[in-house]
Structure 1
Amino acid sequence: MVRDNRDSNAIDLSINVPPDQGGSTYLDDDGRLKRTGTVWTASAHIITAVIGSGVLSLAWATAQLGWLAGPVMLLFFSIVTYFNSLLLATSYRAGDQDVGKRNHTYMEAVRAHLGGFQVKACGTVQYLNIFGAAVGYTIASALSMTAITRSYCFNTKGKDSPCIISNSPFMIAFGVLQVILSQIPDFDQIWWLSIVAAVMSFTYSSIGLILGIAKLSENGKIKGSLTGVHVGTGPGEVTQATKIWRSFQALGAIAFAYSFSLVLVEIQDTIKSPPSEYKTMRKATSISIAVTTVFYLSCACFGYAAFGDEAPGNLLAGFGYFNPSWLIDIANAAIIIHLLGAYQVFCQPLFAFFQRTATAWFPGSEFVTKEIPIRIPIQGYEPYKLNLFRLVWRTFFVVVTTVIALALPFFTDIVGILGALGFWPLTVYFPVEMYIVQKRIPKWSTKWIGFQILSVTCLIVSITAAAGSIAGVAAHLKVYKPFKS
């Protein structure tokens, strides 16, 4: 039996090690199971987390900001995310990047470098953001399922058919699938799901891009303006107040599209070494952010050029349900498959935290710690180890997120709030502060002042984005009846 005793929340990592092979074949430098991640699996995890359903709202966000501010803000968030991701990656090991003590989670990294109240603050923000992402993904997947069903309805019953379809059954179906997938024990075992999800994200992003280019070619001109949606009283125009709130909300949508910092440390913890995890993570981050930035700029700009001020909150919705309906159906199916994986990539850290906590509080409870082997009728596969606490806790989590999604299915607004709440603390503040402590950067030095300016600037952006998204939710609640989407 091997136990990690370095902190009070450690899990009992019991494994059977053949006496003739020794523990080194199966165990890592700190007694945990060996990691197998590479730059490619890490890139797949990141792309799965980053290129999510948020890409579909970027054309709408660009329409609110215009040709001048839209691309600039996309590049701004890309650069800030990349820079701060490198800072956060240095905090994975305390001290030396090759042999320092490993921090397996974001919270452990904050505890090792900052400690005190900031650990609880980090955990609260991180896990609330993960919870919110699960709600957002449930809503987005249901919208895609509904779109496919309506497309089939129109093509079989005719264009004039109302084809009124509720999102609710699809949210429930997505929840049922997540209950099953959530029983995968840990992050390192979902690498295959991330690769599938990453492929799907490229699929629907590419289709959205191709359709945008085709629409632009059909129009024969580039739509949009330097300042975005026009203020006025004419068709498609908005009031000055609405323009401001939507511009703020657009910032939140862009921030959400780039959010993966909340699971960066957990992804880094899947990477094998040598070389040092930081070197591999730096390559994976560079590859992933470069790829996603090109995709985001392309989808946002071509989508805005094709639709102008009328760019929809979901880019695929702008092409309707006809010609070519089969291609749009493929894109929506890819979104659903991608979100099945993205849900797990985001939620695994939260699942693991509660399981660690329960194990630390009730070490003698068989309900919490006992694993029941279940034989899988496939040759070469080890028995699946069923844990009752994992089954109950993760099922409960999925049920709660599904119920909230059923009650508040405002995808664009939810996306904006999530992006705003998680961007500054998780992507900027904690990585900056941990780097300052780790590198012993003197207070009031030029580098320290530069970091603080970056942090304050991003805080202002997060506050304005949150304000815009909350205003959007408030507007929807005035006319919306819960559970009747």
Structure 2
Amino acid sequence: MAAQGQFISMPGGGGTEGDDKSHGQASKSRASLADASTEDVESQQELKGSLQAGASGLRRRKGDSVEEEPEAEPELEMQRHGTWKSCVGHIITAVIGSGVLYLPYFFAILGWIGGIIMTLTFGAITWYTSSLLADAMVIKGVRYRTYQSAVEAVFGRRGGILLAVIQYPNLVLTAIAYNITAATSMKYFATSYKSFADTSLCTAVDETTGYCTDCKLWVFGIIFAGVQLFMSQLPNLVRGRAAAGQAGSADGVQDTSVSGYPVSRTGASQKTFDIFNAWGGIVFAFSFRQVCKDGGRGPVWHMKRAVWVGTLVITVFYFFVSVLGYLAYGETALYANNYIIDFWSNSNSYFPTTEATTNVARAANMMVLIHMIPAYQVFSQPVFAAIERTMRHRKGSRLAATRRWTFRLLTRSLYVAVVCFVAIALPFFSDFVGLIGALGFWPATVLFPVEMYRKLHKPGKWKTIWLESLNVFCCLITICAIIGSVQLIVRDASSYSFF
């Protein structure tokens, strides 16, 4: 889902069982984490810096500098056994998710020229800035296992805090978007059965077909939140991804154009906002946060190779989905119904379907739901970790004396409830993906990698001009995308009935 092309490990949660067992014995030696507010606990550099100064083969932090002693930590070194090939797999499975279902809709807004240009542009920017970031993951012979630890090594603690301020709200927004997506998939799965029209959850019925055309979406949002309420209490997760469905087709040639959905139907101002939001949506589709492990030729080499291959595969896949979806359904249908899976079901009102296509739609929606359940946790567990670490280690905090399971139950349940409330109050996924992509694109994907590269490698005059021009361009894209997404959320919320 995730906005950003950045290398960052996704921590498994603030309360793993291993942490529970070692917390008491290591609390004194980990005093350096007392007021830490970043996500470096799982990184090699931060983990070593948190141990006793007298332990052999460790390095510890003095201010913003890192001193390394000759011996390496065997346990940590054993973790480095992956290659660029395994990293490509991680990138592809992390990136290709629910956001792909809305790419034909964004093409319908931008048209052939705009859609192709922006897809290639954002794909190229993601590849280029991720390559710059790879050059910053090994500094003076020290390998940094997370994006945030590398930022801290270059810009100090304030830089790490600034990145955290950017990343954590983005993770929360992604959880909201996933809650919306899961509820939407359950809705379309339910409405694909004609018998659902007779239930109390159905609020509108097509008199011609007899299918339910609208229902109480908030009920499905709460059901999904109930599942996450349970899963959020687990101290750790084995994360997995599920396939999200494939593009379909319709009979005949649908309406497509060079410029996209016509201005005459939306008005100039609304067309502008739609374009801005489409930029953010495409950026969101290219987001990835993974760390590559080296396989003998050095981590930077493997990172760059993985970024290149992964971005190429993802871009080609996005083109297939976008182009085929746009050709199959056309801009009029996509603008009215941006959730592409819905076109395959008998309950849709745009194209003739069969029982076979309806079954495909049901299976696709079920796969999306299966994908959303662990994906929600993948993006939420780092937030849990940050909250629990910060609050429990705050000096003088009453929460420090609270039993770990009690604290976890309270904080994580509150988080799930807040996310669910926002999701059912503003169930507009296509608007949210634009906002998420926009908020994370320029600062996390471009600004930090560019400035880190400049500080470490001291490029010449012309390359500096090029890098700063890229910075300004991406900043403007981010501002436009935020404006477009917020406008669409406000517009859709004004006509949405909560219950």
| 1:200 equivalent in structure 2 | 243
| 2:127 equivalent in structure 1 | 82
Q: How does 1:239-388 map to 2 (within 5 A)?
A: 239-260=267-288, 264=289, 267-268=290-291, 271=293, 276-310=298-332, 311=334, 312-321=337-346, 322-323=353-354, 324-361=357-394, 387-388=405-406
Instruction: Assess, with a 3 A threshold, how the Cα gap between structure 1 residues 164 and 243 changes in structure 2: closer, same or farther.
Output: closer
Instruction: Tell me the CA shift for residue 452 of structure 1.
Output: 0.6
| 1:440 equivalent in structure 2 | 458
Instruction: Assess, with a 3 A threshold, how the Cα gap between structure 1 residues 109 and 279 changes in structure 2: closer, same or farther.
Output: same
Residue by residue over 1:87-124, the C-alpha shift from the partner in whole angstroms, topping out at 9 and shown as x without a partner, is 2233333333xxx05354x3332221123644333211
| 1:225 equivalent in structure 2 | 257
Quick check: 1:424–1:458 contact (8 Å CA) kept in 2?
yes
Q: How does 1:54-65 map to 2 (within 5 A)?
A: 54-65=99-110
User: Which residue among 95, 100, 115 is the counterpart of 1:50?
Assistant: 95
- Alignment pair present for 1:125 and 2:166: yes
| 1:377 equivalent in structure 2 | none
| 2:190 equivalent in structure 1 | 149
Instruction: Tell me the CA shift for residue 183 of structure 1.
Output: 4.0
| 1:410 equivalent in structure 2 | 428
Instruction: Assess, with a 3 A threshold, how the Cα gap between structure 1 residues 461 and 368 changes in structure 2: closer, same or farther.
Output: farther
User: Which residue among 416, 420, 437 is the counterpart of 1:419?
Assistant: 437
Residue by residue over 1:358-417, the C-alpha shift from the partner in whole angstroms, topping out at 9 and shown as x without a partner, is 35326998967977xxxxxxxxxxxxxxx4434433332222111111111111111111
Instruction: Assess, with a 3 A threshold, how the Cα gap between structure 1 residues 52 and 11 changes in structure 2: closer, same or farther.
Output: closer
For the residues of structure 1 that align with 2:195 and 2:57, how far apart are their CA atoms? 61
Instruction: Assess, with a 3 A threshold, how the Cα gap between structure 1 residues 150 and 110 changes in structure 2: closer, same or farther.
Output: same
- Alignment pair present for 1:102 and 2:138: no
Q: Secondary structure at the match of 2:108?
A: helix
- Alignment pair present for 1:29 and 2:43: no
Which blocks of at least 5 consecutive residues in structure 1 are unaligned?
15-21, 372-386
Moved more, 125-134 or 155-164: 155-164
Instruction: Assess, with a 3 A threshold, how the Cα gap between structure 1 residues 45 and 173 changes in structure 2: closer, same or farther.
Output: farther
One-letter amino acid matched to 2:138? R
One-letter amino acid matched to 1:224? T
For the residues of structure 1 that align with 2:381 and 2:291, how far apart are their CA atoms? 14
One-letter amino acid matched to 2:261? V
For the residues of structure 2 that align with 1:4 and 1:414, how far apart are their CA atoms? 39
Q: Secondary structure at the match of 1:441?
A: coil
Instruction: Assess, with a 3 A threshold, how the Cα gap between structure 1 residues 293 and 183 changes in structure 2: closer, same or farther.
Output: farther
- Alignment pair present for 1:468 and 2:480: no
Q: Secondary structure at the match of 1:200?
A: coil
One-letter amino acid matched to 1:316? I
For the residues of structure 2 that align with 1:28 and 1:142, how far apart are their CA atoms? 48
Quick check: 1:48–1:341 contact (8 Å CA) kept in 2?
no
Instruction: Assess, with a 3 A threshold, how the Cα gap between structure 1 residues 30 and 142 changes in structure 2: closer, same or farther.
Output: farther
Residue by residue over 1:240-285, the C-alpha shift from the partner in whole angstroms, topping out at 9 and shown as x without a partner, is 222222111111111111122xxx3xx317x476554333333433
Instruction: Assess, with a 3 A threshold, how the Cα gap between structure 1 residues 306 and 390 changes in structure 2: closer, same or farther.
Output: same
Instruction: Assess, with a 3 A threshold, how the Cα gap between structure 1 residues 163 and 465 changes in structure 2: closer, same or farther.
Output: closer
Residue by residue over 1:208-241, the C-alpha shift from the partner in whole angstroms, topping out at 9 and shown as x without a partner, is 2xx13xx2xx21x363111111122xxxx32222
Quick check: 1:268–1:277 contact (8 Å CA) kept in 2?
no
One-letter amino acid matched to 1:268? V
For the residues of structure 2 that align with 1:108 and 1:319, how far apart are their CA atoms? 46
Q: Secondary structure at the match of 2:212?
A: coil
Quick check: 1:63–1:229 contact (8 Å CA) kept in 2?
yes
- Alignment pair present for 1:113 and 2:130: no
For the residues of structure 2 that align with 1:424 and 1:149, how far apart are their CA atoms? 39
Instruction: Assess, with a 3 A threshold, how the Cα gap between structure 1 residues 37 and 320 changes in structure 2: closer, same or farther.
Output: farther
- Alignment pair present for 1:455 and 2:471: yes
Instruction: Assess, with a 3 A threshold, how the Cα gap between structure 1 residues 272 and 184 changes in structure 2: closer, same or farther.
Output: farther
Residue by residue over 1:306-361, the C-alpha shift from the partner in whole angstroms, topping out at 9 and shown as x without a partner, is 12222232111233434210001111111111122322232333222223323532
One-letter amino acid matched to 2:243? M
| 2:232 equivalent in structure 1 | 182
For the residues of structure 2 that align with 1:170 and 1:303, how far apart are their CA atoms? 27
Quick check: 2:188–2:365 contact (8 Å CA) kept in 1?
yes
Instruction: Assess, with a 3 A threshold, how the Cα gap between structure 1 residues 103 and 256 changes in structure 2: closer, same or farther.
Output: same
Quick check: 1:4–1:11 contact (8 Å CA) kept in 2?
no
One-letter amino acid matched to 2:266? V
Residue by residue over 1:155-184, the C-alpha shift from the partner in whole angstroms, topping out at 9 and shown as x without a partner, is 997932436422222212222222333345
Instruction: Assess, with a 3 A threshold, how the Cα gap between structure 1 residues 355 and 47 changes in structure 2: closer, same or farther.
Output: farther
Instruction: Assess, with a 3 A threshold, how the Cα gap between structure 1 residues 231 and 135 changes in structure 2: closer, same or farther.
Output: same
Which blocks of at least 5 consecutive residues in structure 2 are unaligned?
1-24, 49-55, 59-70, 199-207, 347-352
For the residues of structure 1 that align with 2:74 and 2:150, how far apart are their CA atoms? 16
For the residues of structure 2 that align with 1:448 and 1:395, how far apart are their CA atoms? 47
| 1:384 equivalent in structure 2 | none
Quick check: 2:109–2:260 contact (8 Å CA) kept in 1?
yes
For the residues of structure 2 that align with 1:279 and 1:369, how far apart are their CA atoms? 46
Moved more, 82-91 or 352-361: 352-361
Q: CA RMSD in A?
A: 3.3
Percent identical pairs in the alignment equals 31
Normalising to structure 2: TM-score of the pair?
A: 0.76
For the residues of structure 2 that align with 1:148 and 1:33, how far apart are their CA atoms? 47
Quick check: 1:125–1:422 contact (8 Å CA) kept in 2?
yes
Normalising to structure 1: TM-score of the pair?
A: 0.78
Instruction: Assess, with a 3 A threshold, how the Cα gap between structure 1 residues 101 and 303 changes in structure 2: closer, same or farther.
Output: closer
One-letter amino acid matched to 1:439? H
Instruction: Assess, with a 3 A threshold, how the Cα gap between structure 1 residues 120 and 366 changes in structure 2: closer, same or farther.
Output: closer
